[in-house]
């Protein structure tokens, strides 16, 4: 019989990749995730700071940064 280590976790996906999978949440993250999927230059393998840098370069509004803050909190809980 095989033994399983319940404490072993799968590696956390990159924040950018995780964000791209977010759909139908009913919150601000939906909008930023939709925009990320439509953006060919979105940093898919980026961490939250890389995504914020990308948003600054795109001259995103404050709501986008608030959505990233919410998304980062959820991603950290994964």
Q: Is residue 3 part of a domain?
A: no
Considering the domain boundaries, does residue 42 fall inside one? Answer: yes
Total structural domains in the chain? 1
In this structure, is residue 69 part of a structural domain? yes
DSSP single-letter state for residue 77:
T
Task: Determine the structural domain holding residue 52 and report its residue range.
Answer: 15-76
Q: What is the reported pLDDT for 32?
A: 96
**For position 70, what pLDDT does the model report?**
97
Residues in the chain: 78
Query: Quick one: CA dihedral 68, 57, 40, 51, positive or negative?
Result: negative
H, E, C per residue of 27-42: CHHHHHHHHHHHCCCC
d(CA 75, CA 78): 5
In this prediction, residue 5 carries a pLDDT of 58
- What are the pLDDT digits (tens) for 16-57? 999 999 999 999 999 999 999 999 999 999 999 999 999 999
Give a yes or no: residue 5 inside a domain: no
Residue 51's nearest CA partner among 38, 34, 32 is: 32
State the pLDDT at residue 33. 98
């Amino acid at each position: 019989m095989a033994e399983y280590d319940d404490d072993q976790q799968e590696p956390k996906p990159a924040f950018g990749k995780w964000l791209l999978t977010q759909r139908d949440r009913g919150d601000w993250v939906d909008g930023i995730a939709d925009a990320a999927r439509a953006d060919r230059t979105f940093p898919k393998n980026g961490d939250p700071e890389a995504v914020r840098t990308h948003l600054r370069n795109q001259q995103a509004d404050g709501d986008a940064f608030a959505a990233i803050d919410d998304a980062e909190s959820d991603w950290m809980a994964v």
